């Protein structure tokens, strides 16, 4: 295997961290993420990616506990717990990750439930956060449209985080879960030069195996899909009314499915299901250049005189304060 340090940074070593959260426990889940990040450093990776809403967990209870019932005491109780364990960036909840990234020079993409201070601090946003290898928060992308039952728990995001970032020879961007099916969201990243796409998911091969290869073939980019894991056996004892969620025969609600596609749509890492694991691969930037020969959707195979996309990247807020 060729060393990732050769060819002036054209080889990027990446880690896909397929793990289960310590459900609705922010501190314990952070500790677990740090352990996976330590494994990525030992594997000489420059980038590690975690799944959607991992910190502190995806709201799997909604479809299993009559989540649409209005004014339900049970739903209120669980939602309050969710808010308490969510990430408040302004409160320093991401400091352990930032410090580790800086000390180990490791870039990170991960999904979290953000309790956004600039929107009042009492609503949840499904956010994809990018930490640079210097420990800086480079972007926080709030999911544009929560999917189906997610709308019972999450608020709509905005375009502020539709950004790409340099990582060696690569330009990396990312989207949350079913956002990856939105053609214009993908186009917003392609147009900024993206050639390494990060897609994060709550978990499930049925979610990742088609769209991952499709995006790779459409964009001629590497595509990393990282999923979480969760099932009834992983519900902590402290979860409200946990017996309501354990009364079925399901082994997994989310069984992983993390995978990685080459720019021609072939598998570099096929979907992995049913186990926690750090998956490692090397990406060769020359493969991007080779596949852009016959198709470049934002370059020679585009017609901006006919079709253009306008993107609003302003962070949305209900209040614009102006002090004297």
3-state helix, strand, coil in the chain (%, to 5): 30, 25, 45
Helices vs. strands in the chain: H and E counts, helices first: 8, 13
- Catalytic-labelled residue, pool 177, 209, 218, 291: 177
The partner residues of 226 in beta bridges, in order of sequence, read: 200
Nearest to 161 by CA among 116, 201, 120, 195: 116
Burial-class residue 214 by CB neighbours within 10 Å (0-12, 13-18, 19+).
middle
Q: Find out whether 49 and 172 touch, Cβ atoms under 8 Å.
A: no
- Catalytic-labelled residue, pool 32, 52, 179, 209: 52
Distance CA 65, CA 60 (A): 9
Q: Find out whether 278 and 291 touch, Cβ atoms under 8 Å.
A: no
Q: Report the sign of the C-alpha dihedral through residues 254, 260, 265, 267, in that order.
A: negative
Catalytic: 42?
Answer: no
Q: How far apart are the first and last CA of the chain?
A: 62
The partner residues of 284 in beta bridges, in order of sequence, read: 11
Catalytic: 52?
Answer: yes
* DSSP character string of 9-52: GTEEEEEEEE----TT-HHHHHHHHHHHHHHHHHTT-SEEE--T
Catalytic: 143?
Answer: yes
Nearest to 128 by CA among 83, 69, 167, 179: 179
- Catalytic-labelled residue, pool 32, 143, 163, 287: 143
The catalytic site residues sit at 52, 143, 177
């Amino acid at each position: 295997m060729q060393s990732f340090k050769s060819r002036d940074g054209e080889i990027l070593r990446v880690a896909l961290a397929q793990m289960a959260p310590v459900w609705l426990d922010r501190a314990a889940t952070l500790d677990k993420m740090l352990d996976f990040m330590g494994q990525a450093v030992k594997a000489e990776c420059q980038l590690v990616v975690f799944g959607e809403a991992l910190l502190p967990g995806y709201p799997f209870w909604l479809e299993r506990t009559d989540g649409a019932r209005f004014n339900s005491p049970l739903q209120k109780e669980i939602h309050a717990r969710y808010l308490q364990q969510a990430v408040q960036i302004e409160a320093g909840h991401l400091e352990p990750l930032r410090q580790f990234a800086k000390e180990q020079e490791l870039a990170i993409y991960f999904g979290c439930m953000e309790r956004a201070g600039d929107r009042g601090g009492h609503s949840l946003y499904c956010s994809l956060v990018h930490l640079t290898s210097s420990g800086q928060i480079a972007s926080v992308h709030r999911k544009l449209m929560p999917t189906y039952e997610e709308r019972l728990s999450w608020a709509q995001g905005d375009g502020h985080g539709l950004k790409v970032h340099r990582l060696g020879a690569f330009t990396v961007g990312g989207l949350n879960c079913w956002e990856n099916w939105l053609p214009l969201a993908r186009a917003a990243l392609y147009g900024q030069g993206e050639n390494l796409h990060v897609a994060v998911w709550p978990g499930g091969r049925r979610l990742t195996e088609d769209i991952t290869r499709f995006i790779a073939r459409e964009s001629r980019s590497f595509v990393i899909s990282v999923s979480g894991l969760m099932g009834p056996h992983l519900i902590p004892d402290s979860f409200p009314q946990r017996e309501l969620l354990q009364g079925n025969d399901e082994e997994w609600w989310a069984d992983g499915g993390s995978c990685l596609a080459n720019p021609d749509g072939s598998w570099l890492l096929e979907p992995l299901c049913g186990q926690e694991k750090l998956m490692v691969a090397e990406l060769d930037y020359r493969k991007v250049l080779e596949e852009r020969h016959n198709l470049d959707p934002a370059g020679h195979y585009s017609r901006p005189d006919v079709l253009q996309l306008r993107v609003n990247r302003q962070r949305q807020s209900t209040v614009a304060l102006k002090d004297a």
